[in-house]
Structure 1
Amino acid sequence: MKAASAIGIGIAVVCIIMAGIMEGVAPPMLLNINALIIVLGGTAGAILGGVGMKRFMLIPKLYMKAILSDHPDLGARVKTLVSFAERARKDGLLALEEEIEAIEEPFMRKGMQLIVDGTDPDLLREILDSEIDAMAARHKQGSSVFEKAGGLAPTIGVLGTVISLVHVLSNLSAPETLGPAISAAFIATLYGVGSANVVYLPICYTLQMLSQKEVEERSLVLEGILAIQAGDNPRMVQQKLLSYLAPADRVAVESGDGKADLKAVDAQAA
């Protein structure tokens, strides 16, 4: 489901604020610009120093991917590959050249082109396996940015609290101000722990899940391409590829409810 991450983060934030209000905490008490600067600015600076400018600049794109990306439609992939297997069995592998231009998903298009070019099966597997491994490595680098942020933000929040407490302890001559000052000091810790566990780590886990799904999709496509090249019976190709799908999705494919779509709506931009 698209935007599931945004919805989940929104629910978490609303529940935390509502619980605070029920405990008697007024929302304005949770606003502290100094703490926000320390936590967000400090975390951003630490991440920039740790991963470099190139990966740091990818953060907005990674946020959008985590929030808006949907899971690949494996059922549509199976139907598409089975249709290719039927065409190849009927008219030969060279007939698939006519289908290649209609494929927008780069990985599948590359694999089909390798088939038409007569690439050795072992070499074809090696090439496409390398593509999958390289994609997974890029995705891991992207999710690691948020994983690092999730680890750094709480510590920087504690640092902000310590800085505030230093100011509080330097003003012990005014005991009537200690309560509000100490309360404000802990806002930085709240921001650090909250941003890590409500934003950074959920985004990291979402990106990791999306990467795993994309690896599964490409593995399915690879097996289908190799089966087509080997001249396997289309029915056997379908049965082999259905092993990548959940039982409920297999029923939908076998009953013909799904539709093969040569234009992949989730073409990889990574």
Structure 2
Amino acid sequence: MDLGTLIGIVLSFGLVLSAIMTGSSLIIFVSVPSLLIVVGGTIGAGLVNYPMNYIIGVIGVIKNTFFSSLDSPAEIIDRFKDYANRARREGILSLEPLIKEIDDDYMRKGLQLTVDGLEPQTIQEILETEISYLAERHATGADVVSALGTLAPAMGMIGTVIGLVQMLQTMSDPSSIGPAMAVALLTTLYGALIANLILMPMAGKLKARSKEEILLREMIMEGILSISKGENPRIIEEKLNSYLPPKDRIVSE
């Protein structure tokens, strides 16, 4: 689980709530009509902007900001050193029994193509296509979340206008001015909070997570191509290390 996302949300909302409770009661900042305008309006506008399956899929996309199942670069390098050593000692077909034990679909597919005897250029074309469409799917998910983050403050402004209109129409009744003004201001607050503390930061996290996964996929592709060419395990390690910052590189003893 990504503690950074969880800590960030808890910390940001916690500080906002603490500031509110320091000066007044929290209950006066609760408005069901404001929440319906912002949340309902944002989802509705999102459905107009994107196909329904995109909006429904946002739940799974947001989940990726909390959970990550990516292998560490060090683990990937160790795996390919082992695979390369096996391939040099026992032949490329010795990797076939190991393929079923690999959880990563991308790595499993690449090694299977290698074992099947495809040319390195063909393997590279297939794996690069996989990376290309992976990047496109990730970009779409981040764009949807970002678009919802843009729509939320706009719906807050619409709620503000609604509240002001209600207030102006009932100026003769002083008791109705307060609730109408509350809806006007709270919708803006809700839209700003949802956009700036949840949706926009999550869109940024998704983009960062996508870059991280693409980098790991490129490392895996480099390792697979090197094995298919029969390169020395030491050379493979150096190639894969080049994808990492100097401080994170693995130094063999």
TM-score (norm 1): 0.88
Which residue matches 1:136? 135
Contact 1:155-1:192 at 8 Å conserved across structures: yes
Which residue matches 2:230? 231
Letter in 2 for 1:29: I
Q: Does 1:43 align with 2:7?
A: no
Which residue matches 1:182? 181
Separation (CA, whole Å) in 1 of partners of 2:81 and 2:252: 14
Which residue matches 1:118? 117
Which residue matches 2:16? 16
Separation (CA, whole Å) in 1 of partners of 2:70 and 2:201: 16
TM-score (norm 2): 0.94
Question: Which consecutive unaligned segments of at least 5 residues does structure 1 have?
Answer: 257-270
Which residue matches 1:106? 105
Letter in 1 for 2:216: E
Separation (CA, whole Å) in 2 of partners of 1:72 and 1:16: 36
Contact 1:72-1:214 at 8 Å conserved across structures: no
- Higher RCO structure (Cα 8 Å, ≥6 apart): 1
Q: Give per-residue Cα distances to partners, 1:104-128, cap 9 Å, x unaligned.
A: 2110011111111111111111000
Of 44-53 and 152-161, deviating more is 44-53
Contact 1:2-1:70 at 8 Å conserved across structures: no
Separation (CA, whole Å) in 2 of partners of 1:232 and 1:133: 26
Aligned-pair distance for 1:77? 0.5
Which residue matches 1:81? 80
Q: Give per-residue Cα distances to partners, 1:9-68, cap 9 Å, x unaligned.
A: 11111111212233x232111100000000000001111121111111112212222112
Aligned-pair distance for 1:248? 3.4
Higher helix fraction (1 or 2): 2
Contact 2:33-2:183 at 8 Å conserved across structures: no
Which residue matches 1:245? 244
C-alpha root-mean-square deviation of aligned residues, in Å? 1.7
Aligned-pair distance for 1:70? 5.0
Of 24-33 and 157-166, deviating more is 24-33
Letter in 2 for 1:254: V
Contact 1:75-1:245 at 8 Å conserved across structures: no
Separation (CA, whole Å) in 1 of partners of 2:30 and 2:242: 51
Count of aligned pairs between the two proteins? 253
Q: Give per-residue Cα distances to partners, 1:62-88, cap 9 Å, x unaligned.
A: 222211225531110111011111111
Q: Does 1:254 align with 2:251?
A: yes
Letter in 2 for 1:10: V
Separation (CA, whole Å) in 2 of partners of 1:98 and 1:183: 66
Contact 1:160-1:189 at 8 Å conserved across structures: yes
State the identity %: 37
Question: Which consecutive unaligned segments of at least 5 residues does structure 2 have?
Answer: none
Aligned-pair distance for 1:142? 1.1
